C-alpha cells in the first residue's frame, strides 16, 4: 500500500501477468501429475451458505507458496487421503474449478480457493442421510482445518479461459451451484483487482446463478459490491427454484431465467460475446432445449448456430 497525497493508493497487481497480459501461450497446464502431486496447506475452510440452504458449501483457501501458478477458469485436482475400500488403491483425482484469481484472495499470488459442496447420500429407506455413503473428496475438503495438507494436481484445462485480447468482449456466465467458482475469478479480475485486464476492460459481464433458495446463494455480498461499483458493466440475475416461478408458473430454473433475456443474449452472441456454462452436467439438456426453442422462434437453425459459436470459440462448457 502506497500513500500519495495523503490517501492510500492500492498497488497494482501485475506481477503474475503474461507479456502482453492477454497472451495465452504461457498458460500453465498439468505441472503437477498424479504420481508426483503438489502438497498445499489449508489456510481456512469456511461455510458460505445460510442455515436453510440445501446442503453445505464451503470456501477453502489453500496456500501453495507461489509454486503452483494457475489462470482464472482453470481447475485443481485434489487427491483425497486414504485408499478405496473396494481394492485398497489410492483414491482417484477429483477436479475442482478454482474460485479465485491467480493472485488468490489475499493478493499475494501464493494462495488459491476452491468452492466445494459437501456430497452426501439420502437414503430413501432410512429417510435420512446415510453416513456410510458420502463424497470422499468433498467431505475431506469441507472438514479440513488450517495447516492440513492437501495433495493436488494440475492446473487443468483451457476451456474456460477468458479471451482478454479484445477488452470490449462481453461475457455471459451461467452457473448452477458451485459452478459459480470460475466466475468469481473472472469478476474479481475484471472489476476488483488492479490488473492490466481490469484497467483495459470496457465490455459487460453478465452473471446468471441458479440455486434452490436465497440461503444457498454463493458470494452474494461480493456480487452486490461489484454491481454497486460497476452498474453499467456488471449484471446479475438469480434463478431460485424454490422461491421463484417461471413464466409458465413452474419452478424457476437457470434455463428459465436465461430465456427471459433470450433476445438480448442472442444479440450479444451475434456481436461476439462469449458464453460460459459451469455446474452439474444435468444443467445442460435444459439449457440446450431452451436455446433450441428460441432458435426455432427466430427462424435460426440451432445446430448451425451452435456450430458457428464453437468455431469462433465463443462457447465454453465445463460440467461435472
Is 47 flagged in the annotation as binding?
no
- Please state, in angstroms and rounded to a whole number, the distance separating the CA atoms of residues 161 and 276: 10
Residue of 70, 96, 171, 183 with catalytic role = 96
DSSP 230-250: -TTTEEEEEEETTT-B-TTSS
- Please state, in angstroms and rounded to a whole number, the distance separating the CA atoms of residues 153 and 76: 6
Is 318 flagged in the annotation as binding?
yes
Residue of 115, 142, 278, 295 with catalytic role = 278
Is 17 flagged in the annotation as binding?
no
Radius of gyration of the chain (CA): 20
Look up residue 275 and give its DSSP letter.
Answer: E
Is 178 flagged in the annotation as binding?
yes
Q: Is 183 a catalytic residue?
A: no
Residue of 72, 164, 259, 318 with catalytic role = 318
Which secondary structure element, helix H or strand E, spans residue 84, and what is its range?
Answer: none
Is 214 flagged in the annotation as binding?
no
Is 279 flagged in the annotation as binding?
yes
Contact 197/299 with Cβ under 8 angstroms? no
Alpha-helical runs (H) found in the chain: 136-142, 181-187, 196-200, 220-229, 254-260, 262-270, 283-298, 302-311
Is 97 flagged in the annotation as binding?
yes
Buried b / exposed e along 273-289 (16+ C-beta atoms within 10 A): bbbbbbbeeebbebbee
DSSP 112-131: EEEEEEPPEEEETTTTEEEE
Residue of 70, 72, 97, 259 with catalytic role = 97
Q: Is 320 a catalytic residue?
A: yes
Three-state secondary structure call for residue 10: coil
- β-partners of residue 151 are 39, 79
Q: Is 121 a catalytic residue?
A: no
Is 241 flagged in the annotation as binding?
yes
Q: Look up residue 83 and give its three cell numbers.
A: 485408499
Q: Is 96 a catalytic residue?
A: yes
- Please state, in angstroms and rounded to a whole number, the distance separating the CA atoms of residues 111 and 97: 14
Q: Tell me the residue length of the chain.
A: 320
Is 184 flagged in the annotation as binding?
no
Active site (catalytic) residues: 96-97, 278, 318, 320
Annotated binding site for NADP(+): 97, 117, 178, 241-242, 251, 279-280, 318
Annotated binding site: 97, 117, 178, 241-242, 251, 279-280, 318
Amino acid at each position: 500500500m502506497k500513500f500519495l497525497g495523503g490517501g492510500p493508493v492500492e498497488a497494482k497487481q501485475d506481477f503474475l501477468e503474461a507479456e502482453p497480459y492477454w497472451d495465452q501461450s504461457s498458460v500453465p497446464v498439468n505441472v503437477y501429475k498424479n504420481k508426483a502431486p503438489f502438497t498445499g496447506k489449508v489456510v481456512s475452510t469456511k461455510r458460505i451458505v445460510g442455515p436453510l440452504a440445501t446442503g453445505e458449501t464451503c470456501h477453502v483457501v489453500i496456500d501453495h507458496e507461489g509454486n503452483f501458478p494457475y489462470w482464472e477458469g482453470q481447475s485443481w485436482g485434489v487427491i483425497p487421503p486414504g485408499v478405496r475400500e473396494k481394492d485398497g488403491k489410492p483414491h482417484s483425482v477429483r477436479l475442482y474449478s478454482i474460485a479465485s484469481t491467480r493472485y488468490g484472495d489475499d493478493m499475494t499470488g501464493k494462495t488459491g480457493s476452491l468452492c466445494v459442496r459437501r456430497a452426501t447420500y439420502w437414503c430413501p429407506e432410512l429417510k435420512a442421510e446415510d453416513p456410510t455413503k458420502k463424497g470422499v473428496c468433498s467431505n475431506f475438503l469441507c472438514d479440513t482445518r488450517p495447516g492440513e495438507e492437501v495433495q493436488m494436481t494440475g492446473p487443468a484445462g483451457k476451456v474456460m479461459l477468458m479471451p482478454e485480447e479484445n477488452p470490449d468482449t462481453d461475457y455471459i456466465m451461467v452457473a448452477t451451484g458451485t459452478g459459480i467458482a470460475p466466475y468469481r475469478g473472472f469478476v474479481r479480475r475484471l472489476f476488483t483487482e488492479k490488473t492490466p485486464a481490469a484497467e483495459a476492460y470496457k465490455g459487460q459481464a453478465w452473471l446468471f446463478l441458479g440455486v434452490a433458495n436465497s440461503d444457498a446463494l454463493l458470494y452474494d455480498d461480493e456480487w452486490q459490491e461489484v454491481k454497486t461499483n460497476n452498474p453499467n458493466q456488471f449484471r446479475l440475475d438469480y434463478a431460485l427454484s424454490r422461491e421463484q416461478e417461471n413464466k409458465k408458473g413452474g419452478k424457476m430454473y437457470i434455463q428459465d431465467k436465461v430465456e427471459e433475456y433470450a433476445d438480448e443474449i442472442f444479440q450479444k452472441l451475434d456481436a461476439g460475446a462469449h458464453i460460459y456454462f459451469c455446474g452439474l452436467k444435468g444443467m445442460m439438456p435444459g439449457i440446450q432445449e431452451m436455446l433450441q426453442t428460441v432458435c426455432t422462434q427466430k427462424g435460426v437453425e440451432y445446430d448451425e448456430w451452435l456450430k458457428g459459436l464453437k468455431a469462433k470459440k465463443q462457447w465454453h462448457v465445463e460440467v461435472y
